[in-house]
Amino acid sequence: MLEIKAIGIGGIGCALLPFLCRYLQYSGDKARITLIDGDSFERANAPRQAFTRLGNKAEVKARELAQEFENLSLRAAPEFVTPENVSRLLKEGDVIFLMVDNHASRKLVSGHAATLANVTLISGGNDFTDGNVQVYLRREGLDLTPSLTRYHPEIAQPQDRNPAELSCEELMAQGAPQLLFTNLMVASMMLNAFYAFTRDRLDYSEVYLDILENLTRPVSRPV
């Protein structure tokens, strides 16, 4: 069974998860998907996030998806990923979709992935009209692609903090403005990378994108 962990159920997560679930349901692949997020949906997020009701994002979205995709196993972990729980949440062989908006969490997840022998980590993020997708693959204890921190000093030395360390007021203040269309493009590029990975056709480690230029640029870097 494919073990998938989706971290961060915000703008990118809301765009990505329904299509991932639809693909898995009708492809016949057995999958268990765990949604991980300690944040709650608020009406102010409605322009780029789709939830049927208020509440913890992981719990609400897992319940919505489970009702629509009955062949899949969906679970919720209503918590932020922290140094204390990362080894409990992320395991050997996981396929991880990382869709957070802070570098501290990216560094934490990438660092933990580096301790696993086999893991697939697909990370997406964006500013207002541009962004990137990184793919970190490890097999038999070896890096096949660079970690998230290898070529990104802003992730290796984050200037922000893990959301678990922030108050509700700080969480609201930390969120930078995002655009629905850019979230959609990042989600699409992450799903493209996942599909290429499942077909053994993934030959890049990062994709840069810009919606104003209608541009995507794949990059392959040495480990």
Spatial distance between the Cα atoms of 24 and 18, rounded to a whole number of angstroms: 10
Q: What is the gyration radius of the CA atoms in the chain, in angstroms?
A: 16
CB-CB contact of 126 with 186 (8 Å): yes
Please list, residue by residue across 105-142, b when 16 or more beta carbons sit within 10 angstroms of its beta carbon and e when fewer do. bbbbbbebbbebeebbbbbbbbeeebbbbbbbbbeeee
What pLDDT shows up at residue 35?
Answer: 98
Burial of 43 (0-12, 13-18, 19+ CB in 10 A): exposed
Q: What is the DSSP pairing of strand 119-126 with strand 95-98?
A: parallel
| Contact call for residues 147 and 122 (beta carbons, < 8 A) | no
Q: What is the chain's pLDDT, residue by residue, as a tens digit (223 residues)? A: 899 999 999 999 999 999 999 999 999 888 999 999 998 877 666 567 777 788 899 999 999 999 999 989 999 999 999 999 999 999 999 999 999 999 999 999 999 999 999 999 999 999 999 999 999 999 999 999 999 999 999 999 999 989 888 766 566 666 667 899 999 999 999 999 999 999 999 999 999 999 999 999 999 999 9
Give pLDDT, residue 139: 98
DSSP 176: P
Determine the CATH number of domain 2-219: 3.40.50.720
List phi, psi (to 5°) of 7. Answer: -110, 120
Predicted pLDDT of residue 116: 98
Q: What is the pLDDT of residue 165?
A: 84
pLDDT value of residue 51: 74
Strands (DSSP E) found in the chain = 2-7, 31-36, 40-41, 55-56, 73-77, 95-98, 119-126, 130-139, 142-143, 206-210, 215-219
Under 8 Å between Cβ of 109 and 155: no
